[in-house]
Structure 1
Amino acid sequence: MSRNLKDSFKSIEELSDKKLFTTYEDWQKWLLTFRNLSKNTALSYGYDFKYFLNFLRLHYEDNKVSLSILNNLKVQDYRSWISFLSSKNILIGAKSLARARASVKSFFNYCILNKKLENSLIFQLSSPKIPKSLPRPLSDNQIKKFIARINEEKNTIVKLRNKAFVILLWGAGLRISEALSLKTNDIKNDYIVILGKGKKERLIPLIPQVKKVLSEWVLERSKIKVSYCNNIFINFNGKKITPRYFQKFFYNLRNELDLDINVTPHSLRHSFATHLLKNGVDLRTLQLMLGHSSLSTTQHYLKVSNQFVNQTYNKTHPRAKISF
């Protein structure tokens, strides 16, 4: 999205009349309690709804959007909104576009259930087909380069913290949000307690190498003056590290090591899953370790593993080298 355009967008409170804003706040609470969505997901839905209201402001040239305006929207209005999101100034990807539809549909669904709106024309919009891309794991050699580069860091706090973060994502398959939400009392002797998506709790065993690196950071962390934060990953001021910090850290590391642009913190989770499958872990066990609610999500990693099997077969089978 164009930064200039994004910066010009107003907040939901600025765009809404009092009744619509109160409804928006109630919807956000409903997402967290009734739908049991994570705070990050509810926040993302809120961003999508904000962009939707900003579109309506531009579309109707009105400073305030009301429930009455939403109730009178036509199918063509929703299609114009989709075109707006797909324009050069916005240009969001297929997954983000699908989520934007889901977010606004969720708001309308909430309003209809609570008799605040009658307009259900948005549900006539067909959901876009999202091209399925295979996970892109890092090779063992690439991860070794990551660790070697981190070990060159002169600042002890930065080195031990960032190394623990990378090793934890790679060695335990955590999402970045799960790692950054990890508390000191979530680390047990041989496992960690993770509160994943949908507030589902799972236990991840700590292999010796991961436990060692994590223990080194926890010991160093204890030397930092912390007043109230009990998150594992904190900064010099004892405050919780933001996702943005590690995204920027990976961006710089990726450029230094000349790695693919698609290498992100989530790539380490992909690596965890793919490496386990290559070494014989069954899908059901992997599903539990990754915290997937559906086995079909975990099966995407099977395709990557099968590619590895085919490559190994063609490289090692004696008949693969013989012309018939």
Structure 2
Amino acid sequence: MISPAAADALENWLASSAALGGVAENTLTAYRADVVDFLAFMTEHLGQAQGLTALKSIRVPDMRAWMARTRATGVGPRSLARKLSAVKSFFRWLAEREDFDPTAVLSTRAPKFQRKLPRPLDEDSARAVIDTIEMQSQKPWVGARDVAVVTLLYGCGLRISEALGLNGSDAPLPQTLRIVGKGGKERIVPVIDAARAAVDGYLAQCPYPLEPDAPLFRGARGGRLSPRVLSGAMQATRMQLGLPATATPHAMRHSFATHLLEAGGDLRAIQELLGHASLSTTQAYTAVDTARLMDVYNKTHPKA
């Protein structure tokens, strides 16, 4: 059980994160779950509900005990690192308001894990997805909609949440889009002709009126298109094409970045197009490109 004071502090932190940090709703939901699990463990571990006074006295051994218990439940190092990040963010905010030293929590090191490299599609496969996904629906307007979305993901490097978050006021698509991404970070994204044409084709068939404050991409009942629906269409498409399970909607964004890099694109420019806060995130694509080059080298070099 979590004390009322701790529960209030948690909700205030989440509200602050939403208002000031522009944190997405799904991220807030994950933060809440992670911190609640932490506080519940500390209640059991220390034998008392974790009011603010108890939270201020958490020690390094307590943090180690929480991490060990969490790992023992089958949570992997990547997920544990995410949970620890949420707990640290909460304690950093709480310490500023309650004036205590959060070093025991903030100094806890996240477990090491090997970052997964992006799994892009090759250019032919990316084009095949765009050409094939409309076949997964019996309704022509739905097929046109799915083509428009995946074309935006691949042609503009949008996150699926960014594409599905567009409204009627964004149409017809201009030469550039102002996108608000993670953490409220804004970026300008060039819109290729193919993406504008795909969206225009969808709108010409969509049975719902184009309204400024309504979703641009509609579900079957007229509401905002769900990512799960698009993922289902993508799954059917990759099965038809014989593509691996890594061929997801997000893989289209990875493909956008990788293909730009392969064509000689500047890494910092790609960082801006993707909306990455840190260049280190974008640098993962250099590892993908290096792996591709080494594969070509090993297959073609006469002495390989």
Short-chain TM bin: 0.7 to 0.9
Which of the residues 135, 139, 155 maps onto 1:171?
155
1:23-69 alpha-carbon deviations (Å, 9 max, x no partner): 1121112223444544443333222112223434554677x643244
- Provide the rounded CA distance (Å) in 2 between the counterparts of 1:92 and 1:322: 45
Deviates more, 1:138-147 or 1:232-241: 138-147
- Root-mean-square deviation (CA, aligned residues, Å) is 2.9
Identical residues among aligned pairs (%): 33
Q: CA deviation at 1:161?
A: 1.6
Provide the rounded CA distance (Å) in 2 between the counterparts of 1:228 and 1:46.
33
Q: Which has the higher contact order (CA 8 A, sep 6+)?
A: 2
Structure 1 counterpart of 2:245: 261
1:321 and 2:302 aligned: yes
- Cα distance in structure 1, aligned partners of 2:285 and 2:75: 26
Counterparts of 1:23-102 in structure 2, within 5 Å, are 23-56=9-42, 59=45, 65-88=50-73, 91-102=74-85
2:96: which partner in 1?
113
* Alignment map for 1:99-248 (pairs within 5 Å): 99-115=82-98, 120-152=103-135, 153-187=137-171, 188-221=173-206, 223-224=207-208, 230-248=214-232
1:284-306, Cα deviation, whole Å (9 max, x unpaired)? 22111111222222222122223
Report the Cα offset of residue 255 of structure 1.
4.6
Report the TM-score when normalising by structure 1: 0.81
- Give CA deviations for 1:131-179 in whole Å, capped at 9, x if unaligned: 1332110122332442344232221232112221111111111112211
1:129 partner letter: K
**Cα drift, residue 201 of structure 1:** 1.9
Provide the C-alpha distance between the structure 1 equivalents of 2:246 and 2:70, rounded to a whole number of angstroms: 23
> Which residue identity is paired with 2:122?
S
Q: Which runs of 5+ in 1 are unaligned?
A: 1-14
Shift in CA distance, 102/257, structure 1 to aligned 2, threshold 3 Å: same
Query: Aligned partner of 1:189: which letter?
Result: P
Aligned length: 302
Preserved CA contact (<8 Å) 2:151 2:198: yes
Q: Deviations over 1:242-262 (max 9, x none)?
A: 333334444454455443333
1:113-135 per-residue CA deviation (whole Å, 9 max, x = no partner) reads 10176564222422222313321
- Counterpart of 1:6? none
Structure 2: stretches of 5+ with no match in the other structure: none
What one-letter code is carried by the residue in structure 1 that aligns with 2:141? I
**Which secondary structure does the structure 2 equivalent of 1:321 belong to?**
coil
- Partners of 1:97 and 1:242 lie apart in 2 by 28
Q: CA deviation at 1:71?
A: 3.4
2-side partners of 1:79 and 1:148: how far apart? 51
State the TM-score, normalized to the length of structure 2: 0.85
Cα pair 1:202 1:289 within 8 Å, conserved: yes
Instruction: Give, in angstroms, the shift of residue 233 of structure 1.
Output: 1.9
User: Residue 192 of structure 1 aligns to a residue in which SS?
Assistant: strand
